[in-house]
A = this chain, B = another copy of it.
Amino acid sequence: MAADEDSGDAAELDFWSFVDLAKRRLADEYGFRHQLATELLLTLNRAANIVTYDLEASVHRPRGRSWSGFRLLFVTWLAGPLEAKKAAELTGMSRAAVSNLAKTQVADGLLERMPAERDGRSVLLSLTERGRQEMVELFAEQNEREYEWATVLTEAEQRILVMLLDKLVTNRDQFDVRGRN
């Protein structure tokens, strides 16, 4: 029995061999049946975390920014001016998170916030001139890094991956997915 098949010796495990160990033990010792589902979601979570961390560490944090801050600026850059609640929908953040991030970015001079014309409850977010310039520079770097990641896969593989991820999350009517807001 190989060393890493024995749970007493985790020293040689890496993520991939841990996933194999997890599948085996969940089925053999605990009777859980949906091994491929577990592997799928472990891998999805891991891949997204690795990529996001890399983008944040190599592009955003050196500029004193954060990944979340970038995402808010990104949707405001391309779809703005827009209501804060719409920004929350497009980024997938809660309204409170958008409110807090926007506060920081208004103070930093990258965003501006205006009362909406027809709804006294709403605010509209838009980039300042400085925010637009910053996004052009920042996204130049981000896009190159995105390209480095993506071209690990062939173009056909990239398209298939996008299609499968789309399918995974758009067929949510099949069951009651818990969403934000």
Residues of chain A whose beta carbon lies under 8 Å from any beta carbon of chain B: 7-8, 10-11, 13-16, 18, 21-22, 25-26, 30, 32-34, 36-41, 43-55, 57-58, 74-75, 78-83, 86, 89-90, 92, 136, 139-140, 143-144, 146-153, 155, 157-162, 164-172, 174-175, 177-180
Nearest to A34 among chain B residues (CB) is B147
**Residues of A contacting B: mostly:** helix
Cα A25 to Cα B51 with chains together (Å): 24
Report B-chain residues with C-beta under 8 Å of the C-beta of A33: 143
Evaluate contact between B37 and A169: CB separation under 8 angstroms. Answer: no
Evaluate contact between A169 and B50: CB separation under 8 angstroms. Answer: yes
Q: A10 touches which one: B25, B83, B150 (CB < 8 A)?
A: B83
Given A39-B162, A143-B32, A155-B36; A53-B168 close (CB under 8 Å): no
Cα A128 to Cα B135 with chains together (Å): 49
19 contacts between A and B (CB under 8 A): A10-B79, A14-B90, A30-B139, A34-B144, A37-B151, A40-B149, A40-B162, A41-B55, A44-B165, A45-B51, A47-B48, A48-B49, A58-B178, A149-B168, A152-B167, A152-B168, A153-B167, A157-B167, A164-B164
